[in-house]
Chain A
Amino acid sequence: MDKKVEMALRKVQKPARYTGGELNSVIKDKHNVDVRFAFCFPDIYEIGMSHLGGKILYGLLNSIDYVWCERVFAPWFDFEEQMRCNGIHLYGLESGDDISTFDFIGFSLMYEMSYTNVLNMLDLAGIPIRSADRKDLSPIVILGGPCACNPEPLAPFADIVCLGEGEETLCEVIELYRKCKINKLSKTEFLKKAAKINGVYVPSFYDVDYNEDGTVKAVTPNVSEAPAIVRKSVVKDFDKAYFPDKFVVPYIDIVHDRAMLELFRGCIRGCRFCQAGFIYRPIRSRKPETLNRQASLLCKTTGYDEISLSSLSTSDYRYLPELMPELMDWTEKEGVSLSLPSLRVDNFSRSLMEKISSVRKSSLTFAPEAGTQRLRDAINKNVSEDEIFKTCRLAFEGGWTSVKLYFMLGLPTETMKDVEGIAELSQRIVDTYYSMPNRPKGKSVNVSISVATFVPKPFTPFQWEAQDTSEMIIEKQQHLREAIKSKKISLSCHENHTSFLEAVLARGDRRLADVIETAWRSGCHFDSWDEGFDYDKWMDAFKKCGIDPAFYANRKRSFDEVLPWDHIFYGVNKKFLQRENEKAYRNETSFNCREKCGACGASILTGGVCNAAD
């Protein structure tokens, strides 16, 4: 290890974030590889290392002989200061080498509030932040992840944006790059070839024109190689798709420190506010025997004693009744526990509950999202009051005494009556507990409600909606606080300024790039952390750039407006989203995909494959 780094490590918290050397990290001989890939996660080690997508791509890229993929995370403030004072460049954890010499610098965009960290990490690597200032073939800055579905605010910084599932696109891009490098092609020549690959979006090949009112007029390709509409890429055979047989096992405690399985991709529900529910379509699932094999292999190679069965809605996995006994056949013997995040209240069964509690009793969390049935119908969260109470009763009978509920404020069509509904629903859960003769003896109930602010997102039926202003949200929060009478209910509300900025960035266009750069230059990064977020600096940045953030966050769009991401295609067609939006205003629910296909159109990406009914 470099002496400068070693000295810096003595002065920071949790030095093991920056040392590498963990079990199952991949070490290759740099002289024997053609392509070096820095897989950057724009947040700290503990969060980045918990991310399943990163583990999949790390394993996949390193399975290619000529590629060496290394991990890079955002250094926390203390280490960043050391790096800047001592001239340490951002390095890959595996080799310790400066990533500015790498072929690819890839970023996973999981949330909007990590955008300034992308710029900061490029800067820490000593790389010009704007694509136009990087003239050479390498490094190529490539972005991906869920936020890449509207990459426009980051367009000038990226060379390539991978739309959709990176498993497909990345390998093709890297193979092409390798050929171009051998043949000494220029960056532009490489990008023109890359633009033809499905799922590859090269922002510099598109010009954006604006109307006088500030809305987008048109986005048009400026080279013949770039398609007018760029499609996301998807894994067609999910059961056979690559899944790592080992995870890098961290030394320090990270957020999700366990083995993880991915049961299925996509979601049958179509809750109208939920971006994940639309951008991961069509639904593709894995066979239980595949999952069981992967689980057992992962436990062997990592030594983990916990497996998380992850997906967007785990109880919707059709083969859960087959999978659970298969897993429990060996996990119980070996002292391995199972955790099932993302359960729904409507199909949470007694037998499922018993299966979880036989291993370890974790807390129970449900997301009704809205306080009244009317609003739950409008957002298509198909959960009824009866189901909520049935589940709570089951849980109380099973020995749980604390329930956590997630709600959102500021949903389209919401009134104060819906806000009060949150308090009423919570109160009735408390009452339910005390009305049960067989409740856990001598224990008090605790209902904690967590209230977030709704952020309208691209590719959802609410992509046209206005976000409530901060003033409106604060008023609603206050109203809710006053409506809660019981001490058994605890309320926590999200910080509003963050949600506002998220709403701006989520549906932003290219003009926001200047704002992001200005905010970053004035010191903003780690915006998702209290330690980093500085709302005033952001507002100053908007002012300096002459941009009104409310135009992006609080303005309702008409259906015929050209949206900044209209040239990007994620499978779900716009007419379908519009129909869903209109239904919301009629308080009409839609069937889930298993009950009846809603003709969203996404299966066009897989040649008709959608496992929703399966």
Chain B
Amino acid sequence: MQPIRIFFKKEGRAKYISHLDLNRVMQRALRRACIPVWRTQGFNPHPYIAFGLPLSLFYESDCEVMDARLDGDMSLSEVKKRLSEQMPEGIEITAVKRPEHKLTDICFASYQLSLEFDGMAKKDLEDMLSKVMSNEQIIIEKKTKHRTVELDVKKYFESADIVVSDGLIRIDVTVPAGPTENLNPAFFATAFEKYGVKPDFENVRRLRLLTKDMNIFS
């Protein structure tokens, strides 16, 4: 049995496929592609697959990860070819490899956020941004399973690469991700709403997954 790791993009209409639904989409795709994947041996056998970091609904991604196990002979390039043919609109297989890291090695994720502010010129947005940044702390509320915690996110505003143009703030940022600590970059929009102006629309794209040493997860 050979563990394999499948990398794919998720964009366009596919951003409306929830994490739960993605599981079903992939199960069926593996079946149609006739890829000999190992099946769970329980009461209701199904192909074993595991996903890396779940992606929020409405987010796009260049770097989604799915693990499976090959139970039979098939080259990785053949797996990629067959699976690619079976992907719905908006999902594109970018690579099929032998896994290098463990799924739990994911520690950080980089995102690009495009926040749209209708009718606001570049100058207005720059002023708004510096007003937000002038606060000693930028506190947002983060809901966990059991409680709500307050979190100062100012350090992410400082570390982010922020580009302002007419009606648009573009943010490139790396935040903690993975099983131990995970932060959804949606807090930028929340912070703008609280300390400045609420964005009218937001697009988020996950660019890469990183390990503890800031290496690309692969």
Residues of A within 8 A of B (CB): 1, 3, 6-7, 9-10, 15-16, 19-23, 249, 251-253, 299-305, 335, 360
With A252-B21, A253-B21 as given contacts, are A21 and B32 in contact (CB-CB < 8 Å)? no
Q: Shortest CB–CB separation between residue A298 and chain B, in angstroms? A: 11
Q: Could you tell me if A303 and B201 are in contact, using CB atoms closer than 8 angstroms?
A: no
Contact A335 B39 (CB under 8 A): yes
**In the bound complex, do residue A1 and residue B27 qualify as a contact, i.e. CB atoms below 8 Å apart?**
no
User: In the assembly, what is the distance between CA of A608 and CA of B13, in Å?
Assistant: 50
Known: A9-B58, A23-B86. 10 other contacts (CB 8 A): A6-B201, A20-B13, A21-B89, A23-B28, A251-B24, A303-B27, A303-B28, A303-B29, A303-B31, A304-B28
**Contacting pair B28 A10 (CB below 8 A):** no
Q: Per a CB cutoff under 8 Å, which of A9, A19, A302, A360 touches B28?
A: A302
The 8 closest A-B pairs by CB, nearest first: A303-B28, A21-B13, A303-B31, A303-B32, A21-B89, A251-B21, A19-B16, A16-B16
Instruction: Determine the chain B residues whose CB is within 8 A of the CB of A6 once the complex forms.
Output: 201
**CB pair B88 A16 closer than 8 Å:** no
Q: Contacts of B119 on A, CB cut-off 8 Å?
A: none
How many A-B Cβ pairs are below 8 Å?
Answer: 60
List, in ascending order, chain B residues with CB within 8 A of A305's CB.
28, 31, 46
With the chains together, A10 CA to B200 CA distance in Å?
12
B28-A249 in contact (CB<8A): yes
A-B contact pairs, 30 of them (CB 8 A): A1-B13, A3-B201, A6-B201, A7-B201, A10-B58, A15-B16, A15-B57, A16-B17, A16-B18, A19-B13, A19-B16, A21-B12, A21-B88, A22-B88, A249-B28, A251-B17, A251-B88, A252-B18, A252-B21, A253-B21, A253-B24, A301-B32, A302-B28, A303-B27, A303-B31, A303-B32, A303-B86, A305-B31, A335-B46, A360-B44
Q: A303–B25 Cα gap in the complex (Å)?
A: 9
Would you give the shortest CB distance from B10 to chain A, in whole angstroms? 12
Interface-central residue, B30, B46, B88, by most chain A CB under 10 Å? B88
Q: Which residue of A lies closest to B44 (CB)?
A: A360
Contact B25–A251 (Cβ < 8 Å): yes
A151–B163 CA distance with the chains assembled, in angstroms: 61
Contact with A along B29-54 (1 / 0, CB 8 A): 11110000001000011100000000
Question: Which A residue's beta carbon lies closest to that of B13?
Answer: A21
Closest chain A CB from B85 CB (angstroms): 11
In the assembled complex, B90 has its CB within 8 A of some CB on chain A: yes
| B16 touching A9, Cβ below 8 Å | yes
Complex: chain B residue closest to A6, CB-CB: B201
Q: How far is the CA of A23 from the CA of B201 in the complex (A)?
A: 28
* A310–chain B nearest beta-carbon distance, Å: 20
B interface vs A, CB < 8 Å? 12-14, 16-18, 21, 24-25, 27-32, 39, 44-46, 57-58, 86, 88-90, 200-201
Q: Which residue of A lies closest to B32 (CB)?
A: A303
Alpha-carbon separation in the docked complex, A44 to B14 (Å): 20
Contacts of B32 in A (CB 8 A): 300-303
Nearest-neighbour CB distance to chain B for A75, whole angstroms, equals 15
Question: What chain B residues lie within 8 Å of A304 (beta carbons)?
Answer: 28
Q: In whole angstroms, how far apart are the Cα atoms of A299 and B34 in the complex? A: 11
Question: Which residues in B have their C-beta under 8 angstroms from that of A252?
Answer: 18, 21
Min CB distance B193 to A, Å, is 14
Q: How far is the CA of A305 from the CA of B201 in the complex (A)?
A: 39
Residue of A nearest to B30 (CB): A303
A16 touches B21 (CB 8 A): yes
Separation of A434 and B14 alpha carbons in the complex (Å): 53
Q: Report yes or no: A21 in contact with B39, Cβ–Cβ below 8 A.
A: no
Q: Which residues of A contact B39 (CB under 8 A)?
A: 335
Smallest CB-CB separation from A10: which chain B residue? B58
CB distance from B212 to the nearest CB of A (A): 33
Minimum C-beta distance from B216 to chain A (A):
29
A21 touching B201 by the CB < 8 A rule?
no
Closest chain A CB from B47 CB (angstroms):
9
Nearest Cβ on chain B to A362's Cβ, whole angstroms: 12
- Give CA–CA (A300, B17) in the complex, Å: 22
Taking CB atoms, residues of chain B closer than 8 Å to A16 are 16-18, 21
The interface residues of chain B lying within 8 Å CB-to-CB of A300 are 32
On chain B, the residues within 8 Å of A299 by CB distance are 31
Q: How far is the CB of B1 from chain A (nearest CB, A)?
A: 17
B27 → A minimal CB distance (Å): 7
Distance of A29 from chain B, by nearest CB (Å): 16
Q: Using CB atoms, name the residue of chain A closest to B34.
A: A300
Shortest Cβ gap from B83 to chain A (Å): 12
- List residues of chain A with CB within 8 A of the CB of B58: 9-10, 15
- Chain A residues near B44 (CB-CB < 8 A): 360
Q: How far is the CB of B141 from chain A (nearest CB, A)?
A: 20
Bound state CA distance, A302 and B90, in angstroms?
A: 18
For the complex, give the distance between the alpha carbons of A124 and B44 in Å: 43
Chain B neighbourhood of A253, CB < 8 A: 21, 24
How far does the Cβ of B132 sit from chain A's closest Cβ, in whole Å? Answer: 23
- Bound-state CA distance A304–B28 (Å) is 6
